[in-house]
Amino acid sequence: MDFNKLIARAKAILTQPKAEWPVIAGEPATVGDLYKNYIIVLAAAPALASFIKTSLIGTTVPFAGTFRVPLGAGLTTMIVSYVLAFVGVFVMALIVDALAPTFGGQKDRTQALKSVAYSYTAAWVAGIALIVPAIGWLVALAGAIYGIYLLYLGLPHTMKCPPEKAAGYTAVSIIAAIILYFVVAAIAASVAGVGFGVGAGAYSSSNAKFDKDSPLGKLEEWGKSVEEASKKLEAAQASGDQRAQEEALKEMMGAALGGGGAVAALPTERLKPFLPESLGGYSRTDLSVERNSAMGLEITTATATYADERSGRTLDLEIVDTGSAKGLLALAGFTGVDTERESGGTIERVYRDRGRLVREYWERDASNGEYAVVVGDRFTVKVAGQADDLRDLKKALNDVNLAKLEALKDE
């Protein structure tokens, strides 16, 4: 296996997909080659990252400390997730191949696997960010969305479908894949006793143009910014200037994360004042502010716990500055998320309120829930704990100066 070739291909499909897809479509390959030289390595990334986060790093809970999934259970989950990644790629390739004639394309099992494997690159690489607290799932989500865009761009080249039919081809493929993934997930969960996710796929066309403010238009602009940053990085590497390379690498990371450039997370002393002494009438009993870096991501997290002596209830407040990854929060809202689910006394809603992405979660029987809001497409603010009603959590958030926090979105 040539790791340099693998890295070069992954970089090219992520940063210059329109130029790379014709190359991919024209090069000779077999199903075995694709699995051995590409899929087997990249598919391991999100599974391994999840294992490191849950079993080695752990999750910190105020007053309770850090808890970790036992190594045995963590390894089992990792292996099942890894195996299911192979299943997901195989199933998706079958779907893409079977649908080809319907959308004016040509059936070809190997080309279908190319379409899926290389479009999955975004989701697999983004899956590494599961290690990062708070926003790791957003990075993974953005990777999955970008993967759909990659598939859309690739189908006219690999499956020879007319460019004007690529959008429909992609949409039907993704819908069919989602249905089958749920079936596979249910079977695997019953066998392994664990939950997991299967990576999402992607899209493409060389000549199609999207409305600038549409979801795919936004993703196309994102791809262009990554491509420009990649060119600057290559120029810096050619110059041999170490400082220029470091700056270009930072810009590349910022563009890849949707932020349009490198953005340093706020220092701890800037975020600490946003943890008020009281929240919803509860008094602050504990606070923590820290700034961490991982894989080029710099994140500042401020947390505080508030207690009510009369009722014995507590509220937890968490504020996260996503730094360079702030663009991912904007990308998460490009699709116009608006969902509501209710089951067994549990209610969950995701919607936009005055331009801000909001998530509500409430357990009626336990009188416990969460209210979270994204501020300035950069900061996440969440209140969680027990209350008489979800509206109490929302009201408690009024004690946080969100307007002042939003004013810092470009710092």
pLDDT of 66-124, one tens digit each? 566 676 666 777 777 777 777 778 888 888 988 899 889 999 999 999 999 999 988 88
Q: Across 45-132, where does the E strand assignment appear?
A: 59-61, 65-67
Burial label, 279 (beta-carbon count in 10 A; 0-12, 13-18, 19+): buried
Percent of the chain exceeding pLDDT 70 equals 67
CB 307, CB 335: distance < 8 Å: no
Q: Which of 32-36, 72-76, 395-399 has the lowest mean pLDDT?
A: 72-76
- In this prediction, residues 173-201 reach a mean pLDDT of 52
pLDDT of 250-269, one tens digit each? 565 555 554 455 567 889 89
- pLDDT given for residue 411 in this prediction: 82
- pLDDT given for residue 272 in this prediction: 94
Longest dimension (CA), the chain: 72
- pLDDT given for residue 294 in this prediction: 47
The SS3 of residue 288 is strand
Nearest to 323 by CA among 410, 253, 263: 263
pLDDT band (50, 70, 90) for residue 230: low
Give the whole-angstrom CA distance, residue 299 versus residue 292.
5
Q: Does 138 score more than 60 pLDDT?
A: yes
Q: Does 325 score more than 60 pLDDT?
A: no
Percent of the chain exceeding pLDDT 90 equals 24
Q: Which of 195-204, 293-302, 331-340, 376-385 has the lowest mean pLDDT?
A: 195-204
* In the chain, domain spans: 3-208, 268-406
- pLDDT given for residue 285 in this prediction: 94
pLDDT band (50, 70, 90) for residue 158: very high
Which of the pair, 362 or 215, is modelled with greater confidence?
A: 362
Which of the pair, 272 or 174, is modelled with greater confidence?
A: 272
pLDDT of 363-394, one tens digit each? 988 889 999 888 887 888 999 998 888 999 99
Q: Does 195 score more than 60 pLDDT?
A: no
pLDDT band (50, 70, 90) for residue 335: very low
- pLDDT given for residue 81 in this prediction: 74
Give the whole-angstrom CA distance, residue 237 versus residue 255.
18
- pLDDT given for residue 233 in this prediction: 63
pLDDT of 1-12, one tens digit each? 677 888 889 888
Burial label, 27 (beta-carbon count in 10 A; 0-12, 13-18, 19+): exposed
- Close Cβ partners of 247 (under 8 Å, ≥ 6 residues apart): 236, 262
pTM exceeding the 0.75 threshold for the entire prediction:
no
pLDDT band (50, 70, 90) for residue 359: confident
Question: How long a stretch of residues is the chain?
Answer: 411
Structure token pair of residue 114? 């190319």
Highest mean pLDDT among 228-242, 296-310, 360-374: 360-374
Cα dihedral 33, 36, 37, 41 sign: positive
Highest mean pLDDT among 50-54, 186-190, 281-285: 281-285
Burial 130-141 (b: 16+ CB within 10 A, else e): bbbbbbbebbbb
* Side chain identity at residue 101, one-letter code: P
The number of beta carbons lying within 10 Å of the beta carbon of residue 143 is 27
Mean of per-residue pLDDT scores for the chain: 76
- pLDDT given for residue 331 in this prediction: 46
Q: Which of 124-128, 146-150, 302-306, 323-327 has the lowest mean pLDDT?
A: 323-327
Q: Which of 138-147, 223-232, 322-331, 363-372 has the lowest mean pLDDT?
A: 322-331
Residue found by looking up tokens 């990085």 in the block:
233
Give the whole-angstrom CA distance, residue 145 versus residue 138.
10
Nearest to 151 by CA among 66, 216, 196: 216
Burial label, 88 (beta-carbon count in 10 A; 0-12, 13-18, 19+): buried
pLDDT band (50, 70, 90) for residue 332: very low
The SS3 of residue 279 is strand
- pLDDT given for residue 137 in this prediction: 65
Which of the pair, 142 or 112, is modelled with greater confidence?
A: 112
Give the whole-angstrom CA distance, residue 200 versus residue 211.
24
Q: Which of 155-164, 206-215, 391-400 has the lowest mean pLDDT?
A: 206-215
